[in-house]
Chains A and B, each alone.
Chain A
Amino acid sequence: MNFWIRISSLDRRWVYLLMALAVIIPFFVNITIPIKISPPSQNLYTFIDTLKPDSGPILISFDYDPSTQGELTPMAIAILRHAFSKNIKVITMSLYPTGIGIAENITSTVAKEFHKVEGKDYAVMPYAPGYSAVILSIGESIKNTFATDYYGNRTDTMPIFKNVKNFEQIPISISISGSSTPYAWITYGYTKYGEKIGVGTTAVSATSYYPYLRTKQVVGMLGGLKGAAEYETLVRKFYHVKGRAMATIGMNSQSMGHILMIILIILGNISYFAIRKQNKRSA
């Protein structure tokens, strides 16, 4: 009985320590847990994979800030590597003022891996306020929405925008978000202009977007680190890409963390019922 009382009153710092060990140890142990590709990730991958270099640029919106980049940056990198491997042009932007620096940093870093030229193969847009207004404005004219790119170059002189007016020439817009901005992309991009929408979201928000997959308002979705790992796995399987597979490396730690959580939940429940039973007997 003393054991269960100890478990129920365990200092939470022991739980933190156990979780830290569960996450850190797998980095040093060479184990590979197979990653099964889920249909939402496969659908997004397949859609981008069927595009050709002349299909028009895809648009990736980095709608997140540093607080969620642990989950979202690996998926952004994986999608960029996929697009650049296929010589598909990419336009990146952010509906968040704090996301635009992340967008520029990641886009230019991945573009260097593939020797892509800024303005010709990819473009980074500056921050524009009012996210619904921005999406609606892109639906009318992307060059009017962003007169210049992030670096101050005029968009009407950039080769990437030569035959691009609005969503009609952009085969898919992908919102990578830790908040509700994918709703805005679906509402104003898909419903208003019929733009195909892809979603990359934090695991917390993933359940909110499953209904939109069923209605086909969203082409595909990457949910949390697992979604990012699935996309990384697909890209690495079919294309020769370099660089760290951040999400895939993290999945072993993720699995160990989940096992620890399950054990703790089971122990906590047994402890609760054991103590309750003991109290009833005492009464």
Chain B
Amino acid sequence: MSTNIWIWIAALLTLAIYSFLYKDNIVYKIAEYLLVGVSIGYSISITWYNVVIAKMVVPIRDQHNYLIIIPILIGFLMFFRFSRKQSWLSKIPISFVIGWGAGVAIPLGFQTTIVEHIKNTIAIPWFGGNILLLVNALIIFVGVVATLVYFYFSVPHKGTIGKIANLGIWYIMIAFGASFGYTVMARISLFIDRAQFLLHDWLGLIH
């Protein structure tokens, strides 16, 4: 059994959180509020030292880089969101963020998530001895087309279009099934981690 006080605290808090599985109770609530409070407090302290001090105070105080005062002041305008009369000032930093974000993200995002994937779906590789590659490419090609047809609502889903849309539903269901299977695996994994922590790190019952 561990003699480390922090392991004990973590173990007792873990049990407090799991007590919710039996029913909601005060011990669970204390642990929950503690988690939220500590997470936010930790994030604020990290941000304070790594952003406010390191990126704002140090450059001005130690490196005499006074130019960064301009973006700092623009950033501070964001706090005018709290003023009813002067809230329009907050639109200035927001416009910078949206302008920069859109300018950078749209072309790169389009290339990454649309162009590359369309290219890869259209370009069905010749199997070159491995027929499974060709079959795989065809399954994906048919799946993309059928799923897109399912989400095309400008024509009624009847006749051939209806049949293709139905095939699209099957593809979507298979995708949901795969996601659900992975989700189950993820949730069990998190419990496995806590079980290992309790049985190995805390109680020392397993190696």
Contact = CB atoms under 8 A, between A and B. Distances in A.
A27 B184 CA distance: 20
Interface in B125-179: 140, 175, 178-179
Interface stretch (B25-33, B81-89, B189-197): B189-197
Nearest to A12: B21
B124 interface: no
B22 interface: yes
Contacts of A202: 186, 189
Contacts of B2: none
A250 B101 CA distance: 41
Contact of A190 (B43, B112, B179, B189): B112
A28 B105 CA distance: 50
A27 B185 contact: no
A254 B185 contact: yes
Nearest to A136: B104
A24 B199 contact: yes
A206 B195 CA distance: 23
A253 B54 contact: no
B194 A70 contact: yes
B188 A23 contact: yes
A68 interface: yes
A129 B195 CA distance: 34
A253 B188 contact: yes
Interface range on chain A (Cβ under 8 Å from partner): 35 or more
Contact of A258 (B101, B111, B188): B188
Contacts of B191: 19-20, 23, 70, 257
Do most interface residues of chain A lie in helix, strand or loop, or is the interface mixed? Answer: helix
Given A27-B199, A129-B51, A223-B182, A191 B192 contact: no
Interface string B98-115: 000100110011011100
B62 to A, nearest CB: 11
A215 B117 CA distance: 7
A97 interface: yes
B51 A191 contact: no
Contacts of A191: 108, 111-112, 116
Contacts of B184: 257-258, 261
A152 B65 CA distance: 19
Contacts of B183: 203-204
B5 to A, nearest CB: 17
A148 interface: yes
Given A70-B193, A129-B47, A187 B109 contact: yes
A215 to B, nearest CB: 4
B189 A254 contact: yes
Contact of A225 (B21, B39, B42, B189): B189
Interface in A227-283: 244, 246, 249-250, 253-254, 257-258, 261
Contacts of B178: 207
A27 B112 contact: no
Most buried by A among B105, B140, B183, B200: B183
Contacts of A192: 108
A187 B47 contact: no
A87 interface: no
A13 interface: yes
B206 interface: yes
Interface of A: 13, 16, 19-20, 23-24, 27-28, 65, 68-71, 73, 97-98, 100-101, 126-129, 132, 136, 147-148, 183, 186-188, 190-192, 202-204, 206-207, 211, 214-215, 217, 223-226, 244, 246, 249-250, 253-254, 257-258, 261
7 contacts: A24-B195, A27-B205, A97-B46, A202-B186, A203-B189, A254-B188, A257-B191
Shortest Cβ-Cβ A-B pairs, 6 listed: A70-B193, A203-B186, A225-B189, A257-B188, A97-B46, A250-B192
